């Protein structure tokens, strides 16, 4: 990663519940300030993004995501997105968490870039609250 130089002050708007959770985490991990925690979180995000950008060849992976099933039309959109990637999807599981939230796990095998494309398609949908992509290529090559 490139050497960091200087500091730039920015303003960020966050919902209070998200900020409260973040403050709890950084306090528990011993950060001296929010800024230090935010810098570390941004570095981790950049490293993960850059790693995903380099993915080539066949991979196996999972996409997990949490979404608001009361978001109008979201269930149909999620199904449509998955149908575009049927050749890669090996299985999926759907869990109803409460009156509003659902959790899904999708297991895939295929071209790394297509797996990333599926994850990004899910991330872009309004009402999707959290998405996590995990891939590996170990053992089956």
User: Tens digits of per-residue pLDDT, 73-125?
Assistant: 999 999 999 999 999 999 999 999 999 999 999 999 998 889 889 999 999 99
Asked if 129 and 61 sit in the same domain, the reply is: yes
Give the per-residue pLDDT at 129: 96
**Cα–Cα distance for residue pair 121/10, rounded to 1 Å:** 29
One domain, residues 49 and 61? no
Which of 2-6, 39-43, 77-81, 93-97 bottoms out in mean pLDDT, i.e. has the lowest?
Answer: 2-6
The whole-number pLDDT of residue 2 equals 57
Residue 51: predicted pLDDT: 59
Measured distance CA(110)–CA(95) in Å, rounded: 25
Residues 31 and 81 both lie in one domain: no
Q: How far apart are CA 122 and CA 141, in angstroms?
A: 28
Coil, strand or helix at 127 = coil
140 — pLDDT class (breaks 50, 70, 90): very low
Domain presence at residue 6: no
In the listed set 8, 30, 53, which residue is the last one of a domain according to the structure? 53
Position 137 scores a pLDDT of 63
Residue 30, domain CATH: 1.10.1220
């Amino acid at each position: 990663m490139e050497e960091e130089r200087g500091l730039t002050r920015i303003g960020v708007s966050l919902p209070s519940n998200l900020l409260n959770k973040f403050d709890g985490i950084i306090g528990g991990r011993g950060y001296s300030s929010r800024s230090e925690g935010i810098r570390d979180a941004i570095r981790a995000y950049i490293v993960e993004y850059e790693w995903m950008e380099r993915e080539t060849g066949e991979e196996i992976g999972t996409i997990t995501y949490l979404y608001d099933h009361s978001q109008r039309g979201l269930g149909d959109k999620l199904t449509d997105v998955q149908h575009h990637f049927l050749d890669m999807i090996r299985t999926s599981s759907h869990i109803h968490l409460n009156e509003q939230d659902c959790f899904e796990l999708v297991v895939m095998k295929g071209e790394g870039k297509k797996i990333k494309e599926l994850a990004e398609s899910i991330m872009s949908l309004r009402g999707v609250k959290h998405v996590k992509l995990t891939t590996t290529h170990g053992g089956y090559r």
